[in-house]
Amino acid sequence: MNVKPILSIVTPTLGKFSDYWLECLLQVEGDVQFLFVYPPQSQPRVINDPRVQVLTSPYKGEMMQRFVGLLNAAGEYVLALDDDDFVHPQVCELTKQYFNRFSNSWVLRLQKAVIDISDQERIKKPWNPIPDVGQLEICKKTPENPYPFQKGNYKGLLELPIAPLDKSFDYRYLIWPFIQRRDNEGYHFENFNNIVWKNERIKQALPEIAQATKVMGAITWIPSTGFDRLSGLFVQAKSFQKDAIIGHWMPKPEQIRYIDKDPVLKAARFHVISDVLLVKYFPQYGYLWNLFFSKLYGVPRTVGKLVKMKFLKKQTHSKINKKLTEKT
């Protein structure tokens, strides 16, 4: 691309995305850069679009592939998108309008609709027009309006507070693993994906994220998964200011369609292995310790899910082999 893009869309992938998904992605209008990051020894798909840049990561895994993509993102703003989720074709124009109005914002949180993978009619439904950002009122928390979220039915741009990282560590986690977290309630966010970020902030945070992976001497710990929450909270922790408003959340209808799968089909993930990097680099924040311990106690459940998935997979293969044997 000869023109500096407004928006870079970063997608780590194995290349197994559908033709329909790719067709929809390439319908995004404006000065956009699409970054597809493949693992090593893979065969990237050929895409005839000058806006597409294909990269190969030195290691396989969400964290390394997404990290490589973010390093190479040339846009003024950046959006991380998985290769089975959909984004509104006018997201670039929306981004430009929003940050022209709110130049000090870190993020624009897109409205997300969670859609079951089997609901193809809903997935393929035409997008609703995006409202004029310049005409939307600001929804903020005030004594007169203490609940501006309105159960998700707010009509304007909802002010987004920074995550309350300065919450105290709940020491009960040390003796009782079944405590329900409360400090994550509210409409602040932890994740990185499906949110438009000011790229300047991401570029500043990446070297420190890399530094956080150093364990001792030349030993480096790079989790294969969990980069979504790790990066989302890392950027907020790096420049934390109590009660700061760091952006806004778009109202309905959606600008992101998140495709949800049956839990049985989802791979078991040990997010705690990336959460440990947060408490290692920012030990002063009780919120991160609460997150770490809540996920640490979930490890046995994840191990159980992994064993169950392997058992079911083995059973399925046995049934297929039995049917093939019977046919022969």
Q: What pLDDT, on the 0 to 100 scale, is given for residue 216?
A: 83
The answer to whether 230 and 194 have CB atoms below 8 angstroms apart is no
Q: Is the peptide bond before 253 cis (omega within 30 degrees of 0)?
A: yes
Which whole-number Å values give the CA distances from 40 to 58, 119, 220, 246, in the listed order? 6, 34, 19, 36
Could you tell me the two tokens for 1?
């691309």
Could you tell me the two tokens for 178?
């079944």
- pTM for the structure as a whole: 0.88
**3-class SS of residue 10:** strand
Q: Is 116 left (phi over 0), alpha (psi -120 to 50) or beta?
A: beta
- CA-based torsion, 110, 114, 115, 121: positive or negative: negative
Backbone angles phi, psi at 207, to 5 degrees: -60, -35
Could you tell me the two tokens for 46?
């050929």
pLDDT along the chain (328 residues), means of 10: 88 96 98 97 94 96 95 98 98 98 98 96 97 95 90 94 95 82 87 98 96 87 88 97 97 96 63 87 95 76 52 52 50
Backbone angles phi, psi at 59, to 5 degrees: -135, 155
Could you tell me the two tokens for 160?
């987004």
Nearest to 95 by CA among 229, 5, 192: 5
**3-class SS of residue 79:** strand
> What single letter denotes the amino acid at residue 150?
Q
Q: How many residues does the chain have?
A: 328
Question: What contacts 189, CB < 8 A, 6 or more positions away?
Answer: 109, 160, 163, 195, 232
Could you tell me the two tokens for 139?
């929804």
Partner residues linked to 56 by β-bridges: 38
**3-class SS of residue 87:** strand
Which whole-number Å values give the CA distances from 94 to 41, 43, 90, 129, 173, in the listed order? 37, 34, 6, 11, 43
Q: How many CB atoms lie within 10 A of CB 279?
A: 18
The answer to whether 9 and 66 have CB atoms below 8 angstroms apart is no
What ranges in the chain are assigned the alpha helix state H?
A: 19-25, 62-71, 91-101, 120-123, 199-212, 227-238, 272-281, 286-296, 299-327
Q: What pLDDT, on the 0 to 100 scale, is given for residue 269?
A: 59
